[in-house]
Amino acid sequence: QASTEAMYLAAREKGLAIIGFSEHSPRPQGYGYPSDYQEKLRAGFPLYVEEVRRLAQSGPSDGVSVLLGIEVDYIPGQEAYAKALLQAQDFDYAIGGLHFQQTWGFDFSAEDWSALPEDERFAIYARYYADLSAMCQSGLFHIAAHPDLIKLFSVESFHRWLDTEQAPLLVKNALTAMKDNGMAMEISSAGLRKPCKEIYPCRRVMSTAAALHLPVSF
C-alpha cells in the first residue's frame, strides 16, 4: 500500500493543485468488526496526522496544497466521541460515514444479510436514512460519504425498498439535511468493485440530489 508521501508525489506528477488525505478515524470501544484493524489504526493515526502536516509544509514550494482530512464513523449516541476526535486536530475537512446500526457493522458480511427477511431489510434501510439525517444535522461534518452504502449486500432488496411509498421521503429528508447544513454528498465508484456492483449513490438517489441542487464531491 502506498504511503502518504508516495500518494503526494503521484499527485504532484499528475499536476494536481490540491490533494486531500482522509484516513478513517479510530472508533469508540465496542464498535468493531469480527476482524478489524482498529488497534493498528489507533496506534498509527498520530503518525498519519504528522506525515500529512509535514507534506502540507513542503507542498507550497511544489505548487501543491495539501489538506488534512478525516472520515469519521457517525454512530448515534456517540456524538461526543466524534466531536472530541474532530476537535483534537485542526482538520481541513471532515467526512461523516455510516457503517453501523447500533454495534452491528452492517458492511462486513453478506451472511449477516442473507438470513434477514425482506421486511427486516426494509426496516434497516429506513433506520439508515434516519441516521443519515441525524448525522447531517449534527453539524460535525462537511461531506456525507457513500450515502447508500446500506445496499452493499442486498442491492436488489434496496431497489425494491426505493419503490415503497416511505423510501423517497426518507431519502429526500436526508439529502435535504445535507444541503441545509452546508454539506456535500460524496459520489464514490468503490461500489463497482463491491458485491452491489453499483456506484454510491445509485441513480435514483443521485436524481433526488440533483433536484435539490445538492453539492457533490468525488
DSSP string, 144-166: E--TTGGGTT-HHHHHHHHTSSS
Task: State yes or no: pLDDT of 35 exceeds 90.
Answer: no
pLDDT tens-digit profile of 39-65? 888 888 999 999 999 999 988 999 999
Give the pLDDT confidence score for residue 1 in this predicted structure. 72
pTM: 0.94
Three cell numbers, residue 197: 456492483
Give the pLDDT confidence score for residue 42 in this predicted structure. 87
